[in-house]
Amino acid sequence: MKKSADPKNKKYDSDRETRVLLEEMHSDIKKIAEAQSSTANQVAEIKIAIADLPAIKSEIKVISTAVEANSKDIRDLKKDVKEIKSELHSMNMALIETSHETEDHKKRITKLEEKVFA
């Protein structure tokens, strides 16, 4: 059945349409308010994180200074190790030379002993 084109029905339809629109607007406003609340919470979290930045920056400076000092120490230690290796090589060569001289002395002493005691 068709509704009649009665002016009361038009008013009724208009009121109903207005209520539907108001409900939709209410729903939309509620969504906007929830989104704004969420955004406000995110902004608060960001502000807390930003407040921590100076302390973090200070810690990074301390760490950076320590890393630079450690790097210098490592370079110095590498240089020292290189010098020690060089000195050790020289000492090893001197020991080998001394060992050969000792062998020569042993041979000479043995020959002298053979001549003296023969």
Q: Does residue 11 surpass a pLDDT of 90?
A: no
Report pLDDT for 1: 40
User: HEC string of the chain?
Assistant: CCCCCCHHHHHHHHHHHHHHHHHHHHHHHHHHHHHHHHHHHHHHHHHHHHHHHHHHHHHHHHHHHHHHHHHHHHHHHHHHHHHHHHHHHHHHHHHHHHHHHHHHHHHHHHHHHHHHHC
pLDDT tens for each residue of 14-48: 888 888 999 999 999 999 999 999 999 999 999 99
Confidence at residue 36, expressed as pLDDT on a 0 to 100 scale: 94
Q: Answer whether 0.85 is exceeded by the pTM.
A: no
The rounded radius of gyration (Å) of the Cα atoms in the chain is 48
Burial class (CB in 10 A: 0-12, 13-18, 19+), 94: exposed
Mean pLDDT along residues 38-59: 93
Q: How confident is the model at residue 2 (pLDDT cuts 50, 70, 90)?
A: very low
Per-residue pLDDT at 107 exceeds 90? no
